[in-house]
Amino acid sequence: MKHLTYLRYELLRTIRNRRFLIFSLTFPLILYLTVAGAHKNLSLDGISFPLYYLSGMAAWGSMTAVVSSGARIAQERSVGWTRQLRITPLRTSDYFIAKILSGYLMALFSIVVLALAGSIIGVRLSAVQWLTMLGLLLVGLIPFAILGILVGHLVSVDTLGPVIGGGTSLMALLGGAYGPLATGGVFLAVMKYLPSYWLVQAGKSALGGGNAWPAQAWIVLAVWSIVSARVAARVYRRDTARVQ
């Protein structure tokens, strides 16, 4: 990333976008404080409910952050900004990297604030466990960051809101962010093919420390990342080849 000033302004733009903050932080935080706060002593899926729900809300909020960041490309395409950038020395890869980094920054912010709320409610983890959870969340966001860029090239500005809101909520729901949908059987087996399932599991997995995710998690995340990257690359090439 050669253009640090560009990145700095990109981050500034992200922070100034209030809608961004509302969906990636405010909603998950309010939901977390009310729901987890009311069921402090319950346990769920073998762990304490506040920890499960912390992981779920962090997954939902951070997922929304990285997807929305990439998806903003749709808006920048619609006003001709991406075309304008193509006649500057900024490389396309740097443009995408700036989008991913600013999405991650918002995701990180959302995760840290939720973790603080969790520790206030009574989630107790060791430093290693906290860091493991954070690390797993950040890795688990990779396919979503790429999906965001894909959405940014496929969706029109008018439908952007519903697609991001609906898509991330559905992913979060099916991944168990609002509570596990299944504890066994075929449905659970299917859920395990979703990247959001493993994102939500970051909290539970972190308790195990070192070897946190099973091999299936890594494979599912890798496949989602590679497939979305290939589709995004194809869509990008098709998009820049035609008249705009």
Partner 1 sequence: MVTSESRTGGVVLSDLTKSYGEVQAVRGVTISIHPGETLALLGPNGAGKSTTIDMMLGLTRPDSGTVSLFGSSPAAAVQAGVVGGMLQTGLLLGYLSVRELVTMVASLYPHPLNVDEVLRLTGTTEIAERPTTKLSGGQTQRVRMAMALVADPELLVLDEPTAALDVEGRRDFWTAMRAVAARGKTVVFATHYLEEADAFADRIILMARGRIVADGPPTEIKARVGARTIRATLPGVDDTALSSLPGVMKADQRGDAFVLTCSDSASSDTALRALLLHYPQASDIEVRGAGLEEAFLDLTGDDGVESDEAPRS
Binding region for partner 1 (CB under 8 A): 3, 5-6, 9, 12-14, 16-17, 76, 79-81, 83-84, 86-91, 241, 243
Least separation in angstroms between residue 230's CB and partner 1 is 22
Which run of H or E residues covers position 47?
strand 47-48
CA distance to 49, 66, 151, 213, per residue, from 220 (Å): 26, 18, 20, 11
Quick one: 42 or 79, whose CB is closer to partner 1? 79
Least separation in angstroms between residue 131's CB and partner 1 is 32
CB count within 10 Å of CB 105 equals 18
Contact indicator for 45, 180 with CB cutoff of 8 Å: yes
Quick one: 62 or 82, whose CB is closer to partner 1? 82
Q: How far is CA 183 from the centre of its chain?
A: 24
CA-closest candidate to residue 70, choices 18, 165, 162, 144? 144
Quick one: 157 or 227, whose CB is closer to partner 1? 157
CA distance to 52, 124, 207, 209, 238, per residue, from 128 (Å): 17, 12, 9, 7, 45
* Residue in the structure block whose two tokens are 């640090």: 4
Which run of H or E residues covers position 48?
strand 47-48
Least separation in angstroms between residue 17's CB and partner 1 is 6
Quick one: 9 or 187, whose CB is closer to partner 1? 9
Least separation in angstroms between residue 228's CB and partner 1 is 26
Quick one: 126 or 244, whose CB is closer to partner 1? 244
CB count within 10 Å of CB 120 equals 11
Quick one: 81 or 193, whose CB is closer to partner 1? 81
